[in-house]
Structure 1
Amino acid sequence: MNQTKQFNILLLMADKGITLDTTYLVIGGGIAGVTCVETLAILHPEETLVMVTASSLVKNVSNVSFFAKTVVKFDVNETEASSLQRIHPNLNIVYDSLQSVNTKNKFAITSNGTVIKYGVICICTGGIPKLISESSKSKRVLGIRDTESVQEFQEKLKTGRKMVIVGNGGIASEIVHATRGIQKVWVIRDDYISSTFIDPGAAEFFQNTFRRKTSEADPPKHIISRRHVFSEEDTVVALNKDLKSAALGPDWFRKLEDIKNETGEQELDIIYKTEIESINEFQDKEYPLQVKLTNGRTVLCDFVISATGVEPAVNFLWDQQPTHGPDGGLAVNEFQETSVRDVFAAGDVAHAAWTHAPHWFQLRLWTQARQMAAMAAKSMHARTTNQEVLQDFCFELFTHCTTLFGYRVVLLGKYNGQGLGTDYEILLRTTPCLEYVKFVLQNGRLQGAILVGETDLEEMCENLILDQIDLSPFGDDILNPDIDIDDYFD
């Protein structure tokens, strides 16, 4: 059945459904959807707003603090969707998932047949999993996205002796760091760990922490992860690709820290530059799974964690298709509006199709989901009230604050030389088990930075990147720990 016939059938079914009428319609209960709702509640509290969420639990942000103008850390909490009605009395919550959108007549239809007429709509449906191809053959291949999938993982950890982790982003890194009492084989296709966020030097810095024999220089054990989110290689979603509930918050892996298999060995084996070739399951073997790798090696284990990325969740029908980006996301301009008027998108489902600032690029993170959603809300309000709106300053500079292996990590600008070719230089300062600082310079001007540990250099780096000050007169002293260089630039 083609999409046109499906759409017409849905229209006939919708005649018997409940009809709502609203100025603002937001689809999704993740960080993007909730941020959009909260921003609209501030900008236009007297107008009606409908939020469609598949789960009664949604994600909201708290404890927001700034290291600099654009460097933000925050906590992501899981809360009852009904709590949002306290900040927006005109909010109506529909517990359902989006089935179709009629952009010409401006109404949406949910899976249960509820018809919602809108003035402007924001699509914040997030991402769906790109699990390894062998995942459909065994229930022992797990993905992690929502609370239910974490609970399943916890049960596996209680009795598991050995697991294989596939992927090299934030989720995989956090699993390696947080789990105890189980043998771990980490399979990555790169030649160093956590390549989504860091460079080989920082990877070596972190791996040295694995090798430490004493705990004298250990970082605090209960640092809260400030991940906003997860990136393309981070977000691991449950095996059901139709799952529409919101992704986990950045502190999800804290749920794992109390799960310890006292009978298992603590061991980590990292296998570089290889991928999964096949997974076979047995009923009468010591280990139920046999994982064959492309390098010829075979690993026996109890279960596999697939952490290999997400793709935009555009799994609903349209009367007219908006323009899509090369990654499949809904292409949006600098105001987060799609190619269809009055249809906005934010978060993982959106592709940033505007001309980017020199030091900003899209990476599917909780930080950017929050930024894009706030921008979408401002644009929706401006459209409704016929006002002018300018793009937010946060899109001038890529920033991300997270925690990896117990250390604070701040990324700024072109931190891995993205788009600079080979015409750049790197300055490094590292203190084992304490800090790792990397500056990326081109023509004497700072283009990006990686800051691991409590460096207190975030504001200085932000200023240097945005102002493009010539640092040539300072030479290598820009990272000399005996010189308080930030006094010159704050």
Structure 2
Amino acid sequence: YEIEGCEVIWAIKDKAIGNTFFDAGAAQFLIPKLSAEKPEPPIACKRTKYTMAETEKEAKAEAEPGKTGSALGPDWHEGLHLKGAKELSHKVHIESLCEIKKIYLPEEFQRSRKVSLAFPKAQPDEGNAGPDQELWPVYAELSNGKVYGCDFIVSATGVVPNVQPFLEGNSFALGQDGGLKVDKEMCTSLPDIYAAGDICTTSWEPSPVWQQMRLWTQARQMGWYAAKCMAAGALGEPAEMDFSFELFAHVTKFFNYKVVLLGKYNGQGLGSDHELMLRCTKGQEYVKVVMQNGRMMGAVLIGETDLEETFENLILNQMDLSRYGEDLLDPNIDIEDYFD
């Protein structure tokens, strides 16, 4: 969505985009944004940024155009010029239920005698592209049999804990997902060695509405908490569990929509014993609530809903909401004021 002046082929392994973060309904709500005109970018970023500089001169250089942006969060592209040569805003074609099967350099592709496709002119699933006569720097063959030539390939494969550099000569206990096991004070199995962020796997009994997910927000929260635990340990004092581990919460942007994920927003670990409530206004908002035994367990909020604080409190206090039923999401009822 952020790239302009380019034709983008987006190959996804699932039926719908953003499968890690939301369901197919939310994905369908977002898709029209891919062909809509982009609004003007905000003048200033309100999120905290982190830079490293030894001198005042270097600090000023960090702010100059051409420097890369923050490594944390959705501002990584600040300072990068994400615009191609084509006279178009952004054009995206989605290939679903597929992965990249093989990558060819131009010489390899010509020897393979395969045929690459031009960028589809129709909307997704409305037509096929004809043969492409252009010679490209690289070719991607998808598992659905289609081949596309392109200038470059961006591979987004998820997060794997990079523990290998620390295992040689050390006997760290590892979690099921390969991360360094940490206790409720962020300490590994080796004394006085702490871990935080993507490299670690939490091993304590979590809150019913919190789960570990390797996101920039959690990495930052864990880093802060680990520092508190290290300071407390040095002073011989106990460290109290940080509030950020009571409720899973992640705020970001997708296609210029504000997106808030709370608690068990996709029913993670709840089995089939839960129900979903939905409210959707095309082009404005998408609200999904996960309920179990009359209690709110999670929510997905897309757009300017102003419900995040109310829902955060309802998830945390586990109030029985059975008597409200579907009125809980009635747009004519100001539940924010009601539960204040």
> Which residue pairs with 1:299 in the alignment?
148
SS across alignment from 1:303: coil
Tell me what 1:322 maps to.
172
Answer yes or no: is 1:268 the counterpart of 2:92: yes
Q: What does 1:55-134 align with in structure 2 at a 5 Å threshold?
A: none
Note the 1:217-256 alignment, pairs <5 A: 221-222=41-42, 247=71, 249-256=73-80
Higher strand share: 1
Aligned equivalents of 1:209, 1:467: Cα separation in 2: 35
Q: In the alignment, which residue of structure 1 is the partner of 2:330?
A: 480
Task: State the SS of the aligned residue for 2:223.
Answer: helix
Partner of 1:287: 136
- Give the match for residue 278 of structure 1: 102
Q: Tell me if structure 1 keeps the 8 A contact 2:277–2:289.
A: yes
Q: Once the 2 structures are TM-superposed, how far is the Cα of residue 210 of structure 1 from its aligned partner?
A: 2.6
Give the aligned residue type for 1:270: I
Partner of 2:292: 442
Match of 1:185 in 2: 9
Structure 1 stretches (4+) deviating beyond 6 angstroms?
225-228
8 Å CA contact 1:227–1:367 kept in 2: the answer is no
Partner Cα distance (1:249, 1:418) in 2:
23
Q: 1:376 to 1:253 in 2, by over 3 A?
A: same
Contact 1:219-1:407 at 8 Å conserved across structures: no
Going from structure 1 to structure 2, the CA distance change for 1:340 and 1:478 (only over 3 Å counts) comes to: same
Distance of 1:257 and 1:454 partners within structure 2: 28
1:312 aligns to 2:198 (yes or no): no
User: Would the aligned equivalents of 2:74 and 2:253 in 1 still touch at CA under 8 Å?
Assistant: no
2-structure distance, mates of 1:256, 1:354: 40
5+ residue gaps, structure 1, are 1-176, 229-245
Aligned residues of 1:225 and 1:251 also touching (Cα < 8 A): no
Tell me the distance in 1 between the aligned counterparts of 2:159 and 2:207: 25
Given the superposition, is the C-alpha separation of residues 386 and 253 from structure 1 closer, same or farther in structure 2, using an over 3 Å criterion? same
> Are the counterparts in 2 of residues 227 and 401 from structure 1 also a CA contact under 8 Å?
no
Show the counterpart of 2:62.
Answer: none
Give SS of 1:481's match.
Answer: coil
Q: TM-score, normalised by structure 2?
A: 0.80
Corresponding residue pairs, total: 293
Q: 1:391 to 1:181 in 2, by over 3 A?
A: same
CA contact (8 A) 1:445 1:468 kept: yes
Cα deviation, residue 335, structure 1: 0.7
Report the 3-state secondary structure (helix = DSSP H, G, I; strand = E; otherwise coil) of the residue aligned with 2:26: helix
- How far off is 1:226 after superposition? 6.4
**Contact 1:352 1:362 (8 Å CA) reproduced:** yes
Aligned-pair identity in percent equals 48
AA at the equivalent of 1:390 = E
Letter of the 2:5 partner, please give it: G
Alignment of 1:4-83 (within 5 A): none
Alignment of 1:209 with 2:58, yes or no, is: no
Give the superposition deviation at 1:248: 5.0
Partner residue, 2:231: 381
**1:487 shift after superposition:** 2.0
1:431 to 281, 295, 306: 281
Q: TM-score, normalised by structure 1?
A: 0.56
TM-aligned CA deviation for residue 265 of structure 1: 8.5
Structure 2 unaligned residues grouped into runs of 5+? 50-69, 111-133
Residue identity matched to 2:267: G
Question: Could you tell me which residue of structure 2 aligns to residue 109 of structure 1?
Answer: none
Using the alignment, how far apart are the partners of 1:335 and 1:249 within structure 2?
Answer: 25
Say if 1:384 and 1:255 are closer, same or farther in 2 by CA, change over 3 A. same
Contact 1:477 1:483 in 2 (8 A): yes
| CA positional deviation for 1:211 | 4.2
Stretch of structure 1 that moved more, 406-415 or 364-373 = 364-373
Structure 1 residue 476: Cα displacement: 0.7
Letter aligned with residue 222 of structure 1: P
Deviation of residue 316 (structure 1)? 3.5
- Is 2:290–2:298's contact at 8 Å kept on the other side of the alignment? yes
Q: Deviations over 1:101-135 (max 9, x none)?
A: xxxxxxxxxxxxxxxxxxxxxxxxxxxxxxxxxxx
Instruction: Give the C-alpha shift of residue 185 in structure 1.
Output: 0.3
Check the 8 A contact 1:225/1:403 in 2, yes or no: no
What secondary structure, in the 3-state scheme, does the structure 1 residue paired with 2:74 have? coil
Deviation at 1:417, TM superposition (A): 0.7
Q: Which has the higher contact order (CA 8 A, sep 6+)?
A: 1
CA distance in 1, matches of 2:80, 2:310: 36
Amino acid at match of 1:472: S
CA RMSD, 1 decimal: 2.4
**Per-residue deviation, 1:421:** 1.4
Deviations 1:73-92 (A, max 9, x none): xxxxxxxxxxxxxxxxxxxx
Matched, 1:410 2:230: no
Give the drift of 1:266.
4.5
Q: Secondary structure at the match of 2:259?
A: strand
